[in-house]
Amino acid sequence: MTSTPSFIIIAIDGGAASGKSSTSKILAERFNLLHVDTGSFYRHITHELLRRGVLPTNLAALTLALTELNFTTQLQGRSAQLMIGGQPADHEIRGQNVNEHVSHYAAIPAVRQKLLGYQRGQVAVAQQHGFRGLVMEGRDIGSVIFPAADYRFFLHADPIERAKRRAREGQLDSIAERDRLDSSRIASPLVSPTGAIAIDSTFLTLEQVVGKMAALIEKS
């Protein structure tokens, strides 16, 4: 007799270009998981607020604008896409302007609060669509969003190697500055949560990183 495997939650955190998205996508494929890239959510909100001319320094206008943002989810393959007012994010969320501003918006507690319930709600989305679980990546997934996740990984990589990875993707990205802002903010800073499995990917290929994670998941 076979038993139905229980729903699993995998949290992956780490600095910019540490390999979160690439590893999450492979794990999602291998274990039939919903892939949730929370960085793309912060990027989409940043893009929308910039489009509306709402600056992170104007808290009153920002709080009002947040109440006007209506979040829904659309699946793109195995990935959960945040729709704002029914609209998907466009390619500009990966552009230089959003790279420069996103950490400033992400440091604001009201912005994080707006996303908190939405992120946890992805469990129901995954269940409704028949996934075996979800893999969620970001900065505070193992520390704040799902502290009791079945697996919590924290990816490290040397900052020079990470900058090279982004450059190879043809991107202008202020990785060091974003890491500094993300690690030093008061609200849900980037930290390796106690008990998380830390993996240094500086000298590892993507396949080697995924192999380490998958071995732990398969064992249980």
Binding site for ligand CDP (CB under 6 A): 14, 16-22, 38-40, 42-43, 102-103, 106, 138-141, 165, 169, 178, 182, 201, 204-206, 209
Which segments of the chain are extended strands (E)? 8-14, 33-37, 71-76, 79-84, 133-138, 151-156, 197-200
Letter string b/e over residues 45-68, b meaning 16 or more CB atoms within 10 A of that residue's CB: bbbbbbeeebebeeeeebeebbee
Nearer to ligand CDP, 14 or 56 (CB): 14
Query: How far apart are the C-alpha atoms of 181 and 102, rounded to whole Å?
Result: 10
Nearer to ligand CDP, 48 or 182 (CB): 182
Q: How far is the CB of 179 from ligand CDP (least distance, A)?
A: 8
Q: How far is the CB of 76 from ligand CDP (least distance, A)?
A: 16
Whether the CB-CB separation of 159 and 174 falls below 8 Å is answered with: no
Q: How far is the CB of 99 from ligand CDP (least distance, A)?
A: 8
Nearer to ligand CDP, 5 or 29 (CB): 29
Q: How far is the CB of 2 from ligand CDP (least distance, A)?
A: 34
Q: How far is the CB of 130 from ligand CDP (least distance, A)?
A: 25
Nearer to ligand CDP, 8 or 199 (CB): 199
Q: Give the strand pairing for 79-84 and 71-76.
A: antiparallel
Whether the CB-CB separation of 56 and 62 falls below 8 Å is answered with: yes
Q: Compute the 3-state secondary structure of the chain and give helix, strand, coil in percent, each to the nearest 5.
A: 50, 20, 30
Nearer to ligand CDP, 20 or 35 (CB): 20
